[in-house]
Amino acid sequence: MTTTEQILSEFIDAWSAGRRPDVHAYLQRAPTAERAELAAQITTWLRVAPTPDYDDATRKTISQEPLLVAALEAAALARSPLSAQLPTLRERAGLAIRDVAGRLVTLFDLDDEQRTADYLERVERDELDASRLSRRLLDGLAVILGADRDQLAPGRTAFAGGQSFFRAEDDADQWIAGDIDALSRAALSPAPASASQPMDELDRLFLGGPDG
């Protein structure tokens, strides 16, 4: 057994025993030339590792850790509808609706800041179908608000692989079902009917669908 294999085995044993091993400490034990490989192996294993059978005191300690609390709050925000996400993200960025509208006008070379603000207000009041927002608009909002582009997309999963802290299969099933439902509705919904006046660039951003 190589040094890396031995350290990985000890890390897995410590994890399984609920001792919450410090990844950094285990990496420091490996020869410098082997640390990258060990880090990759530990990361791969953690993606499928079962949650240890922690006692109540340990679970309480984990639940109060700032990193976990922040991650769970971010997950909850990511699962909320865009109408709920936008106000929260705006407040975090210190921006009013008019500020966001002004930046969208500049970004997309629009000519009507008031109409842009009106559209944003309709999104926040949940009066617009989020599946009709264009990818360009979501990309722009992500940049302006300092958010992850995928966080704003309908039907997004809350965590990428390897990011879960406590696995809850029932919750995961509900999230997946919700994603499938959102994506199905977006795919089957007809495009907005043409009005007597054709859509301009602003209308396409907010009403033209993903490719608008």
Residues 106, 20 within the same domain: no
- Tally of domains in the chain: 2
Residues 90, 183 within the same domain: yes
Residues 46, 70 within the same domain: no
Residues 85, 46 within the same domain: no
When computed from its CA atoms, the radius of gyration of the chain, rounded to whole angstroms, is: 23
What are phi and psi for residue 151, nearest 5 degrees? -65, -30
pLDDT score of 158: 36
The average pLDDT across 12-19 equals 85
* Enclosing domain of residue 27: 3-50
Q: Is pLDDT at 210 greater than 50 in this prediction? A: yes
In a domain, 8, yes or no: yes
The average pLDDT across 36-45 equals 87
pLDDT score of 69: 55
Residues 25, 81 within the same domain: no
What confidence tens digit (pLDDT) does each residue in 149-204 have? 777 765 443 333 333 334 344 444 444 444 444 444 444 444 444 445 688 999 99
Residues 76, 45 within the same domain: no
Residue 56's pLDDT band (cuts 50, 70, 90): confident
pLDDT score of 47: 83
* Residue scoring higher pLDDT (87 or 212): 87
pLDDT score of 21: 85
Length of the chain: 212
In a domain, 58, yes or no: no
Structure-block tokens of residue 77: 């925000």
What confidence tens digit (pLDDT) does each residue in 90-140 have? 998 899 999 999 999 999 999 999 999 999 999 999 998 888 899 999 999
pLDDT score of 114: 95
Residues 19, 119 within the same domain: no
Q: Sign of torsion, CA 75 79 82 87?
A: negative
Residues 74, 45 within the same domain: no
* Residue scoring higher pLDDT (161 or 46): 46
Measure the CA–CA gap between 160 and 157, rounded to whole angstroms.
7
pLDDT score of 189: 42
pLDDT score of 175: 42
The average pLDDT across 17-22 equals 83
Measure the CA–CA gap between 86 and 75, rounded to whole angstroms.
15
